[in-house]
Amino acid sequence: MCNKKQKKARLIEAEILASLRHFRKIGKVTQAQLAQLTGIDQPTLSSIENGKRRFTVQHLLKISEALKVNMETIIDRSESRKVRGTR
């Protein structure tokens, strides 16, 4: 059974993943293109985006750099969406 901290961590991860997906789609970048830009293979990117695989800070750095979005912006966006209750 997950404790409250684990549940909160999973929620934060899900919000960050939603932000990454949002910025990828806004930039009209496919997962295949992102794979080429980051050096992370496409199946891994798909698993990360779908929450089937946990991401590392290194993954976040590579993805944010490829999308030309500061990691802080990705995290801030996920936090502001949570506060506003929007997706």
70 within some domain: yes
Domains: count for the chain = 1
Q: What is the mean pLDDT of residues 53-81?
A: 85
2 within some domain: no
CATH number at residue 54: 1.10.260.40
pLDDT tens digits for 11-52? 888 889 999 999 999 999 999 999 999 999 999 999 999 889
Quick one: residue 31, left, alpha or beta (phi over 0 = left, psi -120 to 50 = alpha)? alpha
46 within some domain: yes
3 within some domain: no
Give the pTM. Answer: 0.78
Residue numbers of the domain that contains 26: 9-84
1 within some domain: no
Q: Is 84 exposed, middle or buried (CB count within 10 Å of its CB: 0-12, 13-18, 19+)?
A: exposed
